Homo-oligomer: A and B are copies of this chain.
Amino acid sequence: MKKHNFYAGPSILPEFTIENTADAIRNFAGTGLSVMEVSHRSKEFVAVMDEAQSLFKELLKIPEGYSVVFVGGGASTQFAMVPFNLFNKKAAYLNTGAWSKKAIKEAKAFGEVDVVASSEDTVFNYIPKGYTIPTDADYFHITTNNTIYGTEIKHDIDSPVPLVADMSSDIFSRPMDVSKYAIIYGGAQKNLAPSGVTFAIVRNDMLGKVDRHIPTMLNYQTHIDKESMFNTPPVVPVFAALQTLKWLKSKGGVEGMYETNVMKAGLLYDEIDRNPMFKGTVLDKEDRSLMNICFIMNDGFEDKEKAFFDFATERGMIGIKGHRSVGGFRASTYNALPVESVKALVETMQDFEQTSN
């Protein structure tokens, strides 16, 4: 039976990435060795790292004056790296979910944190608007896509102070204006690679403005200076990331992805809105994520939740259980998810409706 992979992350990757990585695990770039057992200083791997950084910049149209680094430690380590590198007197944060909260917690160890707005009172089911960003903040931090709650800031906001964004779960999902950001970072395990590599896009002139000692590995400058080779990088995840970047380019880049993502999400949101057995969890439709689509059983059908889960599982749907804080279901529709999988889920919802009536 065909499996439909709706995992929230680590999540579906292109067949191109999977096949090329499996091949390179056995024989990398004609070396006769596994990509797992070659020196990161070998000319074959240096070429991989160089091409990954260059394609990353090309696909996001990253302007001059920015660097791209690949490091370990996940976005969770970035939560501390951002204040280590940027925090002087005060930082502003938008609280849109569990990951925002973790970022805020790390920043508070460095001084005053102004949480400009929060949707925590309603389990983060909307993106706050109309807040004021303090102009004396060193930076303003947002989480663009909130995987757990299915909300997303789908445009590049204007900020009077340097804008820092955790884009772990929506990087490469749409065209964007990188010049509006000071730092963009994220774990790669949604739209890019298997887990184990973290990307950061850093505007070079943001660095060197704090007096504190920054541990070498938490200093962006370390990785910029050594082009992500200060220490041994996570070789397999970087190799896989390059494959995904190549696949992205072949599919029309972020513009092509965006078109497909809007179409895929539209199919599923339309069914959620049409099917009387289900309802979406996000309050404002404009805040609905293109990456993580959250829905629950509609009023009167609450007792059918397990039945639908089992029904969908029997039809090959994987990873659709909602996060425990939201309940219900979450279908993650990342770049690599084929439209066929979305259609299969829509049909499953329709068939369930028929079966239950």
| A226-234, A285-293, A346-354 - interface stretch | A226-234
| A7-15, A119-127, A273-281, A297-305 - interface stretch | A7-15
Whose C-beta in chain B lies nearest to the C-beta of A215?
Answer: B80
User: Known contacts being A18-B34, A34-B18, A216-B80, is A232 close to B40, with CB within 8 Å?
Assistant: no
Question: Which residues of chain B have C-beta atoms less than 8 A from A8's C-beta?
Answer: 39
A195 part of interface (Cβ distance < 8 Å): yes
A240 part of interface (Cβ distance < 8 Å): yes
Which listed residue, B19, B32, B80, B232, touches A189 by the CB 8 Å rule? B232
Question: Which residues of chain B have C-beta atoms less than 8 A from A39's C-beta?
Answer: 7-11, 319
Q: How far is the CB of A112 from chain B (nearest CB, A)?
A: 15
Q: Is the CB of A187 within 8 A of B232?
A: yes
Q: Is the CB of A237 within 8 A of B234?
A: yes
Q: Is the CB of A217 within 8 A of B77?
A: yes
Whose C-beta in chain B lies nearest to the C-beta of A26?
Answer: B22
Q: Is the CB of A216 within 8 A of B79?
A: yes
* CB within 8 Å of B: which A98-139 residues: 102, 105-106, 109
* CB within 8 Å of B: which A21-56 residues: 21-22, 25-26, 31-40, 42
| A68-76, A172-180, A247-255 - interface stretch | A68-76
Q: Is the CB of A217 within 8 A of B74?
A: yes
Q: How far is the CB of A13 from chain B (nearest CB, A)?
A: 5
Q: Is the CB of B13 within 8 A of A37?
A: yes
C-alpha spacing A264/B217, complex, angstroms: 36
Q: Mark A173-199, 1 if CB is under 8 A from B, else 0.
A: 000000000000001010001111110
Which listed residue, B73, B189, B237, touches A73 by the CB 8 Å rule? B73
A contact residues, total (Cβ < 8 Å): 65
Whose C-beta in chain B lies nearest to the C-beta of A35?
Answer: B194
Q: Is the CB of B10 within 8 A of A234?
A: no
Q: Mark A290-333, 1 if CB is under 8 A from B, else 0.
A: 00000000000000000000000000001100000000000000
* CB within 8 Å of B: which A59-86 residues: 71-77, 79-80, 84
Q: Is the CB of B37 within 8 A of A232?
A: no
Q: How far is the CB of A3 from chain B (nearest CB, A)?
A: 5
Q: Is the CB of B21 within 8 A of A25?
A: yes
A218 part of interface (Cβ distance < 8 Å): yes
A213 part of interface (Cβ distance < 8 Å): yes
Question: Which residues of chain B have C-beta atoms less than 8 A from A319's C-beta?
Answer: 39, 42
C-alpha spacing A94/B213, complex, angstroms: 23
A342 part of interface (Cβ distance < 8 Å): no
User: Known contacts being A72-B196, A232-B189, is A5 close to B26, with CB within 8 Å?
Assistant: no
Q: Is the CB of A36 within 8 A of B7?
A: no
Q: A8-B39, A196-B237 are in contact. List 4 more A-B contacts (CB 8 A).
A: A13-B37, A31-B318, A72-B196, A189-B232
Mind listing 16 A-B residue pairs with CB under 8 Å? Answer: A5-B33, A8-B39, A10-B40, A12-B37, A13-B34, A36-B193, A72-B72, A72-B73, A72-B74, A74-B217, A76-B230, A79-B216, A194-B235, A195-B234, A195-B236, A215-B218
